[in-house]
């Protein structure tokens, strides 16, 4: 494979979340960064402003484990699919592409939330309710799923649509915490529902 680096010895890299497929950022690699990324399966880039090699997350802790590395037909652009821990953007947004000229570039909210939950499970931040659930473990998570299921039933019978939407959202959140705890992916659910549709 002969990559076509530009006159500065760099090649642009599009970085995509491996699960949600959301585009996270655009960066550059030189040959050293490319080789280190291949070798370690951690994302290394070349900083044009600092003119130095850097590993994503080396100061922030928001690392990128590389799941796949591809190149385009002209061999002058790379595509990394990564497991992102924490936000990819230095502004603390999930993606660097959070501002739009028109349209909506946000990822599917369920996939995006799963990504956030996985990050909370990895880092267990202080004063985080999600981190607390993961620290307490499966019994606490199941208790909350059961509790929220009851709240949905009550809201369905006696309360407003707005209250029902709120309670269903609480249940969906706790179900996704359970999914992350047990290693179930959104794609697993989508695949199962597709089977049932056919």
Asked if CATH classification 3.40.50.1100 holds for the domain at 1-106, the reply, yes or no, is: no
Q: Which helix (H) or strand (E) holds 178?
A: helix 161-182
CA angle, residues 83, 173, 165, in degrees to nearest 5: 140
Q: What is the pLDDT of residue 106?
A: 60
Asked if CATH classification 3.90.1720.10 holds for the domain at 109-197, the reply, yes or no, is: no
Q: What is the residue extent of each domain of the chain?
A: 1-106, 109-197
pTM tops 0.85, yes or no: no
Q: Per-residue confidence of the chain (198 residues) as pLDDT tens digits?
A: 799 999 999 999 999 988 778 899 999 999 999 999 999 999 999 999 999 999 999 988 899 999 999 999 999 999 999 999 888 998 888 889 888 888 776 656 787 788 789 888 988 988 999 999 999 999 999 999 999 999 999 999 988 999 999 999 999 999 999 999 999 988 788 889 888 976
């Amino acid at each position: 494979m002969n990559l076509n680096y530009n006159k500065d010895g760099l090649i642009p890299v599009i970085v995509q979340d491996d699960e949600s497929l959301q585009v996270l950022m655009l960066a550059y690699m030189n040959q050293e960064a490319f080789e280190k990324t291949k070798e370690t399966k951690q994302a290394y880039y070349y900083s044009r402003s600092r003119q130095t090699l850097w590993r994503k997350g080396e100061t922030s802790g928001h690392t990128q484990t590389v799941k796949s590395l591809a190149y385009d037909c002209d061999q002058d652009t790379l595509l990394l699919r990564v497991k992102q821990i924490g936000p990819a953007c230095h502004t603390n947004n999930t993606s660097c592409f959070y501002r739009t000229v028109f349209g909506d570039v946000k990822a599917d909210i369920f996939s995006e939330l799963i990504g956030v939950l996985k990050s909370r499970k990895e880092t267990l931040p202080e004063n985080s309710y999600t981190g607390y659930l993961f620290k307490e473990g499966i019994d606490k998570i199941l208790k909350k799923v059961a509790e929220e299921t009851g709240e949905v039933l009550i809201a369905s019978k006696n309360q407003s649509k707005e209250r029902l939407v709120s309670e269903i959202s609480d249940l969906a959140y706790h179900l996704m915490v359970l999914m992350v705890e047990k290693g179930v992916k959104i794609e697993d659910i989508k695949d199962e529902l597709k089977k049932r549709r056919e």
